[in-house]
């Protein structure tokens, strides 16, 4: 099978009862003459695998032609030496996906690659457009055929459309023409789009990086020995030997080509609103955001949690791996010894073999085993980063009791999640969010813990600002309900229109 023939994998990786929210995806773009950019992109995506595990893809260009391969599965399952070989050229973009809009199917895998009057155009997108249905209707009325249920195809088609097809208000109020026609098209898209987007864009001879005016989703720039790279997180830069330069600013368009880095500020941000869940869970702890390492910020959250929700206990243990920094912080502040109490099977989520009913009923035992020698007779503070649906915490508490713990005091290094996210995070619906239905004491009873404590919203913001300073704002809408942008009412109505639309596509998958 060559790179243009895409096969569908019929069995997705095993779904455990993981209660964490899911990110939309990770993106990367590389301009590096003389380098094997497809291989660099592969390893960059491998470093971003934590941001999405449903599909992966790479599109490349040699200055004349574009090449693509994408499929359903993990990065290492989608790409082999045979699949990378046809992806020629010195420019490439890559994408690893977790679906928040659109179903899990090959038609929704990214990047998207279309042919335009100016040559090939490839798009990788992290985020959600809150006005995607309006843009979709606009395209359909123009006669544009759409083949997927994801808003990324909408981004591609809006960018590909000739400017005389844009709405009249864009042609009337747009900035003076730019010598680079793609800059004009990106500007036009940014005037139309609402919501969250960090984009990597592949053209015949340049890579573009675009971040929405609020900076809801992360994006950073790095320097290679023979070129430049943009990626969702700095951990991807480190993996491929690139030096971190800076973040892409909210509202900024960055072009990477033979002239180096060109920056255009298209939309001046009124405020900044990076998703605070990047610090709570999404980002790798070794990544830098807001100029600081994420690990430090999580430790700061753990320290603040110890001040706000102390516990009469013997040891502090984390739910591995994401809660480790917060547990270290809690231990340092409280004086309680930090120990390991759960061993994680790090590969259980990477198999395509589904468990039988008896294994499935074991739930978290597929993913964790208790360290009985550390737990026997101990009063335990169990640190986790969040409770979303409440499906994991109860089984974890019972697992620790079976391992010999006499008391389990659960502490969460974020506030209760009470509101859905519509900006690129799978944060469930009101009906599914346990924090929207139950109070803290009720959740404690539900999960079977001896006590339950959350970091307050004010404490979380303080912990973040103690490390990164007050210069940047953050979106904490899933905790507060204070959304930084207007959310269409239909999105709150159980996503009825979207579910009907996606069900139509699911029947043909």
3-state DSSP of 270-325: CCCCEECHHHHHHCCCCCEECCEEHHHHHHHHHHHHHHHCCCCCCEEEECCCCCHH
Token pair for residue 496? 């009825």
Pair 249, 472: CB distance under 8 Å: no
The domain that holds 186 is classified in CATH as: 3.60.20.10
Pair 38, 92: CB distance under 8 Å: yes
Cα separation, 191 vs 253, whole angstroms: 13
Is residue 352 domain-shared with residue 410, that is, in the same domain?
A: yes
Alpha helices (H) in 143-249, listed in sequence order:
151-160, 168-173, 181-192, 234-239
Burial class of residue 7 in the structure, from the number of CB atoms within 10 Å of its CB (0-12 exposed, 13-18 middle, 19+ buried): exposed
Is residue 265 domain-shared with residue 192, that is, in the same domain?
A: yes
Q: Which helix (H) or strand (E) holds 5?
A: none
pLDDT given for residue 13 in this prediction:
38
Number of domains into which the chain is organized: 2
Judge whether 150 lies within some domain.
yes
Is residue 319 domain-shared with residue 243, that is, in the same domain?
A: no
Is residue 63 domain-shared with residue 162, that is, in the same domain?
A: yes
Is residue 343 domain-shared with residue 253, that is, in the same domain?
A: no
Is residue 400 domain-shared with residue 476, that is, in the same domain?
A: yes
Judge whether 507 lies within some domain.
no
Phi and psi, residue 171, nearest 5°: -70, -30
165 in catalytic set: no
Judge whether 487 lies within some domain.
no
Only one residue has tokens 């995070």, namely 425
List C-alpha distances in Å: 407 to 307, 384, 410.
20, 16, 10
Judge whether 231 lies within some domain.
yes
Is residue 254 domain-shared with residue 393, that is, in the same domain?
A: no
Burial class of residue 195 in the structure, from the number of CB atoms within 10 Å of its CB (0-12 exposed, 13-18 middle, 19+ buried): buried
pLDDT given for residue 166 in this prediction:
61
pLDDT given for residue 505 in this prediction:
37
- Catalytic residue, candidates 25, 275, 421, 475: 25
Is residue 48 domain-shared with residue 111, that is, in the same domain?
A: yes
Is residue 73 domain-shared with residue 45, that is, in the same domain?
A: yes
Chunked mean pLDDT (size 10), the chain, 509 residues: 34 47 80 97 96 94 96 94 97 85 68 93 94 90 82 91 64 62 92 94 97 96 97 97 97 96 83 93 94 96 98 97 96 98 80 62 81 97 95 94 97 96 78 92 97 98 92 88 86 50 37
List C-alpha distances in Å: 202 to 6, 60, 123, 133, 276.
20, 8, 6, 25, 29
Domain encompassing residue 234 = 22-272
In SS3 terms, 144-175 reads as: CCCCCCCHHHHHHHHHHCCHHHCCHHHHHHCC
CB neighbours of 355 closer than 8 A, spacing ≥ 6?
14, 366
Cα separation, 93 vs 27, whole angstroms: 7
CB neighbours of 283 closer than 8 A, spacing ≥ 6?
218, 233, 289, 294
Q: What is the pairing mode between strands 25-31 and 474-475?
A: unpaired
Token pair for residue 332? 């340092």
pLDDT given for residue 171 in this prediction:
54
Is residue 322 domain-shared with residue 258, that is, in the same domain?
A: no
Is residue 316 domain-shared with residue 384, that is, in the same domain?
A: yes
Closest by CA to 121, choosing from 146, 157, 88, is 157
Only one residue has tokens 């123009």, namely 142
CB neighbours of 191 closer than 8 A, spacing ≥ 6?
170, 173, 174, 267
Judge whether 492 lies within some domain.
no
Cα separation, 3 vs 7, whole angstroms: 10
Alpha helices (H) in 16-123, listed in sequence order:
37-47, 75-78, 81-84
Token pair for residue 189? 């898209």
Q: Is the pTM of this model over 0.75?
A: yes
pLDDT given for residue 353 in this prediction:
58
Judge whether 454 lies within some domain.
yes
DSSP, res 413: S
Pair 288, 235: CB distance under 8 Å: no
pLDDT given for residue 499 in this prediction:
41
Is residue 124 domain-shared with residue 223, that is, in the same domain?
A: yes
Judge whether 321 lies within some domain.
yes
Judge whether 431 lies within some domain.
yes
Residue 64, SS3 per DSSP? coil
pLDDT given for residue 356 in this prediction:
67
């Amino acid at each position: 099978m060559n790179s243009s023939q895409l096969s569908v994998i019929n069995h997705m990786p095993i779904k455990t009862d993981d209660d964490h929210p899911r990110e939309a995806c990770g993106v990367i773009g590389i301009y590096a003459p003389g380098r094997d950019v497809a291989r660099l992109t592969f390893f960059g995506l491998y470093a971003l695998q934590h941001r999405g595990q449903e599909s992966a893809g790479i599109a490349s260009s040699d200055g004349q032609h574009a090449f693509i391969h994408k499929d359903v599965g993990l990065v290492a399952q989608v790409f082999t030496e045979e699949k990378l070989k046809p992806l020629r050229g010195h420019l490439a973009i890559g994408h690893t996906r977790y679906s928040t809009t659109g179903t899990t199917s090959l038609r929704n895998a990214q990047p998207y690659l279309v042919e335009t009057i100016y040559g090939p155009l490839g798009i990788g997108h992290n985020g959600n457009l809150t006005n995607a249905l309006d843009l979709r209707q606009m395209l359909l009325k123009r006669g544009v055929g759409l083949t997927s249920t994801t808003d990324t195809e909408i981004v591609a088609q809006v960018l590909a459309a000739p400017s005389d097809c844009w709405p009249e208000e864009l042609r009337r109020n747009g900035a003076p023409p730019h010598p680079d026609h793609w800059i004009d098209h990106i500007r036009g898209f940014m005037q139309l789009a609402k919501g969250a987007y960090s984009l990597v864009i592949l053209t015949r001879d340049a890579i573009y990086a675009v971040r929405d005016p609020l900076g809801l989703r992360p994006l950073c720039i790095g320097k290679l020995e023979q070129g430049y790279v943009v990626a969702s997180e700095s951990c991807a830069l480190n993996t491929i030997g690139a030096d971190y330069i800076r973040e892409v600013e909210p509202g900024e368009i960055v072009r990477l080509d033979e002239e180096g880095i060109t920056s255009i500020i298209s939309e001046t941000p009124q405020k900044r609103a990076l998703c605070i869940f990047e610090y709570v869970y999404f980002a790798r702890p070794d990544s830098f955001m807001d100029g600081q390492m994420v690990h430090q910020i999580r430790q700061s959250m753990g320290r603040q949690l110890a001040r706000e929700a102390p516990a009469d206990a013997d040891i502090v243990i984390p739910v591995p791996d994401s809660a480790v920094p917060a547990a270290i912080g809690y231990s340092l502040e409280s004086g309680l010894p930090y120990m390991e109490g759960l061993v994680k099977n790090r590969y259980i989520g990477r198999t395509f073999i589904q468990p039988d009913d008896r294994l499935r009923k074991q739930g978290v035992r597929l993913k964790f085993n208790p360290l009985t020698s550390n737990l026997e007779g101990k009063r335990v503070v169990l640190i986790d980063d969040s409770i979303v649906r409440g499906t994991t915490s109860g089984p974890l508490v019972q697992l620790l009791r079976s391992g010999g713990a006499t008391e389990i005091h659960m502490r969460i290094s974020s506030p209760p999640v009470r509101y859905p996210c519509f900006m690129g995070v799978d944060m469930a619906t009101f009906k599914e969010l346990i924090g929207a239905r139950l109070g803290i004491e009720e959740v404690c009873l539900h999960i079977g813990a001896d006590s339950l404590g959350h970091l307050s919203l004010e404490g979380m913001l303080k912990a973040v600002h103690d490390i990164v300073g007050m210069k940047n704002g953050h979106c904490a809408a899933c905790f507060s309900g204070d959304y930084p942008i207007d959310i269409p009412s239909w999105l709150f109505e159980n996503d009825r229109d979207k579910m009907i639309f996606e069900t139509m596509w699911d029947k043909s998958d």
